[in-house]
Structure 1
């Protein structure tokens, strides 16, 4: 009778043991198993365990950029752009006059588009060419620029045989600078169109007035539209006549500021001081370009020696170069922004006088 009563219990215990063997040990969230959450998150490249940005949205963009597999050079440039935007956004947010100044948020839209992070498919075919680490003139026939006018002008200049190899590289930078201005203008235009109706302020009397910030953004767009037209006209002239020997600066953004400074009513000492500052800026940009080249060389060596004993040393060197490239990119962009603002404020003061 005892044996008979215990049979169901023995069978039940046997089934539990068999089931445990088949299923295997249970995993908790703290496990490092192949399919655990922590293991999957560890596969996502990151710039470090610490936060890179104070603004959560920028941190999300930074993580997405790693997931998309942007190159080290692209990540360095993106980091500098996001860092510069964060400084500008926080300064605007805490400014007592932020309602009268245009919000810099539209610049973030342009940054996302520049690196293919905005989800828009229109630039998918040319994104690799536009955000390349390096470039040569052997890609004949490929679409390079999103703007049709710019692309047509580039092909005309490229096929004119008016420029040697080095001049074509600098001309390409001129066109990239112009494309960036196009992108920022379109980003601002989309930003304003999303506001559909101009935001209204209601006064104590009940009267409604257009938000000063909206008006400031409209003024910003008018100025940027003027800059785009002016830049395109300058490129058309350059593509037709070629480079002259009296160019003081090679970098497009630096040369553009110098040309603007010469058209303003600046005193000779002011002009000389500004020229010196532009020289410092161009030297900084040259250092950045040199650092980018070193980063690319070390990156290629690291790729080829992943299984060798020298991989650890190369990885350490690559990480150090990446940090320095990011730092130089930010300093160059920050200095460019500072000189642009200084020139604009100087022009406003002279106009008031």
Structure 2
């Protein structure tokens, strides 16, 4: 009797195991729907990329990732993003020119290499730690970063203790000092690049016609350095004057990059109509820079709030802070690129040099400078204006 019950239990257990195995066998088939199911016969979707590349050029993506690994402050990252976007735009344009055989002497390629060298030095991506300008995210720590020049440090201390400046004016003056510091750093990078190029040029035996081309290229680079040095000296004179006298309440412009351009324009032999047209363009340019500065500050504040929310472990605040930080970061990148790209705006609609009339309305700064043929006597200054506008993309260091 007992053996019969045991046998019955074993058979029931075996039946249960068979049922369980049967059900488990059906599950993958049901999930896949069989070889004739809709899922099986639809093409597989391509795998999603974990992160979208920021740039079309791989070398620029590598620089961007390197900067992110260095944990640069958010505003510096946004500025670097805009600089790399401009570099990419110029390099892609150059590749088209090269295919058309329009850069035989290699000057445009050399300029691109120099520009990239400036970017690497500016953001500490060249492996030289002493070129790193900023290591702080804090608004209040900015003035402790130093100006790398005893003359500038002395002038800044005099201005701070003079009592002639409001807090807003001191902030504006500090931006001018940082702008000057950056111009000096860019000049030194270009000077170093030119020195190495000349050493290579002296040690290479080339055909006479090719040697002449290289000589012309080196001469143009020397002229570029000369113009930049002149701009640096003018900027230092202005800082001396400001530190002693304070700001003129009736000044035409406030942003240092715009002031540089306007000073150059006023020293040229331009008609009143030409100056008025340039004045309007520079006002638009200054408005963009001021808006960009505003978003830079807002991004810094958002970054500090995000760090605080993460430190206290408030999940809801972290989520809101990240969303706002991402929004401000995108806007800062966009405006940074706009400020840099304004020098190329309107180029396609600009009349060719020598064309009659002066239709500057709606043209960008690059278009304005392209009209230098209307006033041959001002060609030298227009060349300086062009160089200044092209270098006006240099953002102020982290605030």
Where on the TM-score scale, by shorter chain, does this alignment land: which range? 0.7 to 0.9
Return the match for 1:88 from 87, 90, 94.
90
State how 1:342-353 maps to structure 2 within 5 Å. 342=367, 344-347=369-372, 350-351=375-376
1:271 counterpart residue number: 275
Contact 2:139 2:300 in 1 (8 A): no
> Structure 1 stretch 238-247 or stretch 157-166: which is displaced more?
157-166
Candidates 207, 212, 220, aligned match of 1:216: 220
Alignment of 1:1-353 (within 5 A): 49-95=51-97, 96-97=102-103, 99=105, 100-101=107-108, 103-123=111-131, 127-128=134-135, 134-135=139-140, 142=144, 144-195=146-197, 196-198=199-201, 202-203=206-207, 208-211=211-214, 212-306=216-310, 307-336=314-343, 341-342=366-367, 344-347=369-372, 350-351=375-376
For residues 72 and 260 of structure 2, what CA distance do their matches in structure 1 show? 29
Larger deviation: 114-123 or 245-254?
114-123
Render the CA deviation track for 1:156-200: whole Å, top value 9, x for unaligned.
333333322211111111111111110111010111122213276
| Structure 1 runs not aligned, ≥5 long | 1-47
CA contact (8 A) 2:309 2:317 kept: yes
Q: Distance in 1 between matches of 2:272 and 2:69?
A: 51
Q: Structure 2 CA distance, aligned partners of 1:324 and 1:223?
A: 33
Partner of 2:162, secondary structure, is coil
On the 8 A contact 1:254/1:278 being kept in 2, the answer is yes
Matches of 2:377 and 2:141, distance apart in 1: 47
d(CA) in 2 for partners of 1:225 and 1:340?
A: 22
Greater shift, 85-94 or 163-172, is seen at 85-94
After superposing the two structures, state which structure 1 stretch, 242-251 or 261-270, moved more.
Answer: 261-270
Contact kept, 8 Å, 1:291 with 1:324, in 2: the verdict is yes
What's 2:21 paired with? none
What secondary structure, in the 3-state scheme, does the structure 1 residue paired with 2:293 have?
Answer: helix
Structure 1 Cα separation of the partners of residues 59 and 319 of structure 2: 33
Larger radius of gyration: 2
**Contact in 2 for aligned 1:89/1:105 (Cα 8 Å):** no
- Of the structure 1 ranges 280-289 and 154-163, higher mean CA displacement relative to structure 2 is found in 154-163
Kindly indicate whether the alpha-carbon contact (under 8 Å) linking 2:114 and 2:193 is maintained by their aligned counterparts in 1: yes
Q: Render the CA deviation track for 1:265-290: whole Å, top value 9, x for unaligned.
A: 22323222221211211221222222
Are the counterparts in 1 of residues 123 and 131 from structure 2 also a CA contact under 8 Å?
A: no
- The structure with the greater share of residues assigned to helix is 2
**More off after superposition, 250-259 vs 342-351:** 342-351
Contact 2:86–2:341 (CA<8 Å) still a contact in 1?
yes
- Extract unaligned runs of 5+ from structure 2: 1-49, 346-363, 379-399
Deviations 1:274-310 (A, max 9, x none): 2121121122122222222332333333333333224
